[in-house]
Chains A and B, each alone.
Chain A
């Protein structure tokens, strides 16, 4: 199965591996890249540079971390010195050579604020993709067992799906808020109510194992572990939709708080899952799924904190920003 986490769509339609690109950068997916192109078109300095670029070649615009930092602390507003620090670099993707530099002092704070917002949204989209990868790993061992997924999380997902297609902004917001409430509540209940007590009751010594009422302890653990995986799948789904809902509401800080609230419970959840893994056949699918779970059920809050430290990279062709004359 392809690892979506590592794939991005380039402007020429080709799918490229994210790992072949910069690791300390935010690379936009096609939808957000198009939005950013719209922003870049409004900047005369970028238009001037784009007009001078060769047609047909792919370029990358690099916005250094300094740009986001200065948008955040407001100092971008005061920039009128044009000292070259507050600028974006344009590189030829094929040769890696610098093709131009864009002074950003003339860009309005609103425009740059949109860039910052897009960077946060892209980070959240990357978080969702990572959760999808874990979800796929777990789904593999749960084929045919979806029917009794917990109703509250499922209902939250339905609200989210209705919200994204709602044309009335008020209805959309109302449904999105409802989805957030149900997803948060459903996820928290699952985290608190998943039963791990069986793992503490298992015998550890040889005598205890010999006289245990369970004939085959690993088989018993496996039957219990399947329920844990099922609950975890719902937790991950709830988390995935919560990230998307908070992203849609443009409230990354609320997402941060919602994650913080369940952080300690999730740590216990992951510790217990790590313990279950030790009772399962190391090469089994269930072992692999639970190992993935024990490494992280929730998106990392760190991802959001790191946004201002990353370079924003956007690929484009000159005609996308400065259409040829007569078009």
Chain B
């Protein structure tokens, strides 16, 4: 079984073995996807907030007219 390709914060290689067909150990693989999912959520959150702000502003301006 291969060892994980990731590096630990102190620069040492991760000592954990990988699953068959993977290059990273379960922790580092799942951690990468956690970061991706959190990133996507943050972007989606910003987009939704932006859209809602624009909608609210347009509603306000149409009311004042």
A interface with B by C-beta (< 8 Å): 202, 204, 206, 209-210, 212, 215-219, 277-283
Contacts and interface: CB of A to CB of B under 8 A. Distances in A.
Interface of B: 8-10, 14-17, 19, 22, 25-27, 29-31, 33-34, 36-38, 41
A281 B14 CA distance: 9
Given A216-B30, A279-B27, A283-B10, 18 more contacts: A204-B19, A206-B29, A206-B33, A209-B29, A209-B33, A210-B36, A215-B34, A215-B38, A216-B34, A216-B37, A216-B38, A217-B30, A218-B31, A218-B34, A277-B16, A278-B16, A281-B27, A282-B16
B26 A278 contact: yes
Contacts of A283: 8-10
Task: Return the 7 tightest CB-CB contacts between A and B, nearest first.
Answer: A217-B30, A216-B34, A209-B33, A279-B26, A278-B26, A279-B27, A218-B30
Given A279-B26, A279-B27, A217 B16 contact: no
Contacts of B36: 210
B51 to A, nearest CB: 22
A210 B22 CA distance: 15
11 contacts: A202-B26, A206-B33, A215-B37, A216-B37, A217-B33, A218-B27, A278-B16, A280-B27, A281-B27, A282-B16, A283-B9
Contacts of A278: 16-17, 25-27
A217 B25 contact: no
Contacts of B38: 215-216
A5 B28 CA distance: 35
B25 A209 contact: no
Contact of A210 (B8, B14, B17, B37): B37
A216 B14 CA distance: 19
Most chain A beta-carbon contacts within 10 A, residue among B14, B15, B33? B33
A299 to B, nearest CB: 27
Contacts of A281: 27
A153 B22 CA distance: 42
Given A282-B8, A283-B8, A219 B34 contact: yes
B27 A282 contact: yes
Contacts of B17: 278
Contacts of B10: 283
A215 B42 CA distance: 12
Contacts of A217: 30, 33-34
A25 B52 CA distance: 76
Contacts of A216: 30, 34, 37-38
Nearest to B33: A209
Contacts of B22: 204
B14 A282 contact: yes
A210 B37 CA distance: 7
Contacts of A218: 27, 30-31, 34
Nearest to B34: A216
A282 B31 CA distance: 12
Given A204-B26, A210-B33, A215 B8 contact: no
